[in-house]
Structure 1
Amino acid sequence: MSEKPLQRRIADRGFPSVFQAWNPADEPAGVGADAMLARHDLIFHSPEFFGLRWSKQPTGLAEGFTPESVLAAQKRRAALLFRNPNTVLIAEIRYRDAHTSYLPEDHPWWKRGKDGKRVPGWEEGGYFLLDFASPAFRQQVATQAKAAVASGAVDGVMLDWWDDDDDHLALARAVREAIGPGALILANANDRQTPRTAPLVNGFFMECYRSQTPADWRRIATTLEWAQKNLRQPRINCVESWWHKSRDDRQLMRLVSTLTLCLSDGYCLFSDPNSLPKPDHLHRWYDFWNKSLGKPLERGTPLGMAERGHPLGWYRDFDRGRVVCVLPDAKPFEIQLDVPHKSAATGKVSKTHTVPPGDGDLLLVEGRINPSSGAIT
């Protein structure tokens, strides 16, 4: 069976829609790794994760992949799409930093300090900054991005540590020219807006490491709304927040999930914080994400406005219910509905539901909501 075109895969998926950032969800008993992977509607990882192997060592000098690995990666793609026909696959292409084995130690593409030594890329060590201000290196990044897309194994590329300065703009232009207008670029802008590179980028990976205060969540919401309106189509915004106390911070999981649902047609994730001494972005799969909302019927609507003029939360109607998101600095919101809905958070079935501040809910009905009459069919 032939796969669906990229834009159809993005449009056909149901909601909530969850993505995987590099590392996987825990595997419950009886659920294998590939089955768990396929629950995610968008996956980004290294080219090697998808089965590709660079054709030259060190890999920073490679311009393509071995033919046998391209075939293996295409088979892996077909297997994943068989499990989830709407999955989008994206390969990270390194440009900001890399492992010490990425290039010869004396290569000019390493960024160097005044002392001539390579500049460390991470506090953890072993990675060093790359000089993407170099036109020659930017062209190499574009060449590798083109090879990843041309392999047929992935739908686009992910660029980490994104900003909106001259060098990032030049890099985005080079990559876009190399991969063509139809492939995807996902950029990790965290919670920042990038107006200069917006026409070239299809989505933000919003790695929201700042989520402790009401101001943090307002900034996340503002950036997500901006990205949903201004980035290149098709849009694939991915919003991730981390737990504060434990994976049982379910109200935070619901908050990031419902915020993403109310303000975008994007993908959500709730994961472990990077500060833990284990691989980043590991996560649990929550039953909240198994609920089927169908498709959105309208854009998100503010629940009310604070004195300073920012929304206190939003609701958004879908085929099979209403999504409600309440920001941390709001009061509890009481939601009145015409027919009984079941809360995904509490299990309560009622026409009236209350959502606490800093929380969200999926209020579900059996059947579908008629967008004109409001009747359940």
Structure 2
Amino acid sequence: DADVADFVGRDFPSTYVAWGNILNKPELTPEARWAMHDVVWSADFGLRFNGVDWVGDINAAQQRKALFLSMNPDMLFFVDVHYFSGYPPGSFPEDNPMLLRDSEGVPVVDELWGNEQLLDFTLPETQQWAIRQAVAGWETGLFDGIFLDNWNEDERLNELKPLSEEHKARDLILQGIRSKVGSDFLIIVNSGHEKIPRWAAYINGLHMETRPGYSNIGIPMDGNYTQGDLKEIQKTLIWAEASLRAPVINCLEGVTDARESPMSLKNQQRMRFFTTMSLTLSDGCVNFALGFWMQPLIFGYDYDDLYIPLSDGVNPSDHYWYPFWDADLGQPIGGNELKGQLYRDTEGLFIREFTNGWAVYNRSGTEQQIELPENVSAVASGLTGTAHTIPDLDGEIYLKQETKPSADVNGDGVVNIQDLVIVANALGKAEPDLNGDGVVNIQDLVIVANAF
């Protein structure tokens, strides 16, 4: 698949977006903001599922996809398959047989999510509904894969059905989808922090929608990720990279402390931590979402404390774009054996080399000193040199010092009029760009002339 091949060969850092978009780049169109990510769901193609097919203006959807790919050829598009939740009130008549019902036969709704209607996915008709959504998405040719939310071994159906039936139903849904779409169509699921070995053979990636406090449910929390959270997240990411079907596309999402600006020092440090965790442990994508919706409920503070107020125009999956993600690390050096490599056997201090530099993340419990084999420039701190300090629960990207192109453009060992003619003939083009400003111009001619 050409789209997947482009994605696998992409440069890092690599980002994704789940449902939301970038908030702090209003000068860009929504399409341009989506195209800054390499993985997107749900892609806004203006289609809807009618029970049999995804319907709408397919030609317009194809043109929209072409627009995205013209801005980012590495993009992969996933469609959200709703097998359980995600249906606003009134999506189905109350006599629909797929609806989840309580012991008295009354349809159950999700009050936390605006009284969404819930489906009983242990029913064969609901399973076929989900399978058909996925297959119909594959048949459009628009999507590289599907996304399934709330997919782990936790109970979902309000204890109205045995947990074993829920697990068996998930088996049947995935088996039914794979049997029809084949091996190339991608499946990503939201497992939270959890490993899901039962379904590893069917899926290509996890959406690790992490939240502070998952490993400490019932314990008073302050809104920060604990060491327990981070160890659990790390173990799941390492497991997923090694255990899921190829091509593996794991998506790691951290969230802000919603009481502070997304650009606060604390939140930028948290963003760096998740970004470098993804870079050092996986070949996947990262996102750092607002994540504000559940935080007051979990941590006991008021919605009035949110830095960005709840509104119809902002959702928890929206995020800011961070300049840290603009660093050009290139591609990883080495194979899977170099993922999760410790720096000098220091527990919790991870390093990985890329073609253009190194990513380092520190979960060791203390500040750490590192020494790199050549002069580098730290993206966040701006410091240069070979020796650098990494605070605990932080990460950094170190870029190798670039060697500017030689004024000896034709490589004959001497700078002369021939080099000047080559540059003059390339005015307005991208190469040979001697000063690195993106275009061949008079400044490049001056560089050659001064080197005669």
CA-to-partner distance for each residue in 1:180-223, whole Å, 9 max, x for gaps? Answer: 21111110001100001001011000000136201100100000
- Which residue in 2 is equivalent to 1:303? 343
CA-to-partner distance for each residue in 1:307-335, whole Å, 9 max, x for gaps? Answer: xxxx41210000011100011x5211111
Mapping 1:279-298, distance limit 5 Å? 279-298=315-334
Task: Report the Cα distance in structure 2 between the residues aligned to 1:351 and 1:313, rounded to whole angstroms.
Answer: 17
Task: Report the Cα distance in structure 2 between the residues aligned to 1:27 and 1:52, rounded to whole angstroms.
Answer: 27
Q: Cα distance, 1:32 vs. partner?
A: 2.1
Task: Report the Cα distance in structure 1 between the residues aligned to 2:280 and 2:79, rounded to whole angstroms.
Answer: 28
- Which residue in 1 is equivalent to 2:47? 52
Q: Cα distance, 1:29 vs. partner?
A: 5.0
- Which residue in 2 is equivalent to 1:356? 391
User: Is the contact made by 1:9 and 1:88 (CA closer than 8 Å) also made in structure 2?
Assistant: no
User: Greater share of strand residues, 1 or 2?
Assistant: 1
- Which residue in 1 is equivalent to 2:127? 138
- Which residue in 2 is equivalent to 1:179? 181
- Which residue in 2 is equivalent to 1:324? 360
Task: Report the Cα distance in structure 2 between the residues aligned to 1:133 and 1:124, rounded to whole angstroms.
Answer: 21
SS state at 2:178 partner: helix
- Which residue in 2 is equivalent to 1:25? 22
SS state at 1:80 partner: helix
The answer as to 2:151 corresponding to 1:115 is no
Task: Report the Cα distance in structure 2 between the residues aligned to 1:201 and 1:122, rounded to whole angstroms.
Answer: 30
Which TM-score applies when normalising by structure 2? 0.75
Q: Cα distance, 1:124 vs. partner?
A: 3.3
Q: Cα distance, 1:27 vs. partner?
A: 4.6
User: Is the contact made by 2:4 and 2:76 (CA closer than 8 Å) also made in structure 1?
Assistant: no
Task: Report the Cα distance in structure 2 between the residues aligned to 1:305 and 1:337, rounded to whole angstroms.
Answer: 15
SS state at 2:201 partner: helix
Q: Cα distance, 1:273 vs. partner?
A: 1.3
Q: Cα distance, 1:119 vs. partner?
A: 1.6
Task: Report the Cα distance in structure 1 between the residues aligned to 2:349 and 2:235, rounded to whole angstroms.
Answer: 12
Q: Cα distance, 1:363 vs. partner?
A: 0.7
Q: Cα distance, 1:304 vs. partner?
A: 6.3
- Which residue in 1 is equivalent to 2:302? none
Q: Cα distance, 1:174 vs. partner?
A: 1.4
Query: In terms of mean alpha carbon deviation, does 138-147 or 208-217 score higher?
Result: 208-217
Task: Report the Cα distance in structure 2 between the residues aligned to 1:291 and 1:188, rounded to whole angstroms.
Answer: 28
**Amino acid corresponding to residue 321 of structure 1 in structure 2:** G
- Which residue in 2 is equivalent to 1:147? 136
Gap runs ≥5 in structure 2: 154-166, 214-224, 294-305, 404-452
Q: RMSD across aligned C-alpha pairs, in angstroms?
A: 1.8
Mapping 1:264-275, distance limit 5 Å? 264-275=282-293
User: Is the contact made by 2:375 and 2:401 (CA closer than 8 Å) also made in structure 1?
Assistant: no
Mapping 1:33-182, distance limit 5 Å? 33-45=30-42, 49-54=44-49, 56=50, 62-66=51-55, 68-97=56-85, 98-164=87-153, 165-182=167-184
The answer as to 2:230 corresponding to 1:217 is yes
Task: Report the Cα distance in structure 2 between the residues aligned to 1:169 and 1:339, rounded to whole angstroms.
Answer: 50
SS state at 2:348 partner: strand
Q: Cα distance, 1:92 vs. partner?
A: 0.3
CA-to-partner distance for each residue in 1:267-326, whole Å, 9 max, x for gaps? Answer: 0001101426341211100000000000101323123668xxxx4121000001110001
SS state at 2:228 partner: helix
Assess, with a 3 A threshold, how the Cα gap between structure 1 residues 101 and 91 changes in structure 2: closer, same or farther: same
- Which residue in 2 is equivalent to 1:312? 348
- Which residue in 1 is equivalent to 2:274? 256
Task: Report the Cα distance in structure 2 between the residues aligned to 1:366 and 1:195, rounded to whole angstroms.
Answer: 42
**Amino acid corresponding to residue 114 of structure 1 in structure 2:** S
CA-to-partner distance for each residue in 1:137-171, whole Å, 9 max, x for gaps? Answer: 11111111111121111111000000142222221
Task: Report the Cα distance in structure 2 between the residues aligned to 1:210 and 1:170, rounded to whole angstroms.
Answer: 32
Quote the sequence identity (%). Answer: 30
**Amino acid corresponding to residue 151 of structure 1 in structure 2:** T
**Amino acid corresponding to residue 269 of structure 2 in structure 1:** Q
CA-to-partner distance for each residue in 1:19-73, whole Å, 9 max, x for gaps? Answer: 0110100252532221111110000116xx222233x4xxxxx21033x522221
Q: Cα distance, 1:118 vs. partner?
A: 1.4
**Amino acid corresponding to residue 117 of structure 2 in structure 1:** F
Gap runs ≥5 in structure 1: 57-61, 369-377
**Amino acid corresponding to residue 352 of structure 1 in structure 2:** A
**Amino acid corresponding to residue 180 of structure 1 in structure 2:** G
SS state at 1:101 partner: coil
Q: Cα distance, 1:349 vs. partner?
A: 0.6
Assess, with a 3 A threshold, how the Cα gap between structure 1 residues 280 and 179 changes in structure 2: closer, same or farther: farther
Task: Report the Cα distance in structure 2 between the residues aligned to 1:52 and 1:73, rounded to whole angstroms.
Answer: 8
Query: In terms of mean alpha carbon deviation, does 283-292 or 5-14 score higher?
Result: 5-14
CA-to-partner distance for each residue in 1:95-153, whole Å, 9 max, x for gaps? Answer: 11122232221111011111211122341332022111012211111111111121111
Task: Report the Cα distance in structure 1 between the residues aligned to 2:321 and 2:46, rounded to whole angstroms.
Answer: 24
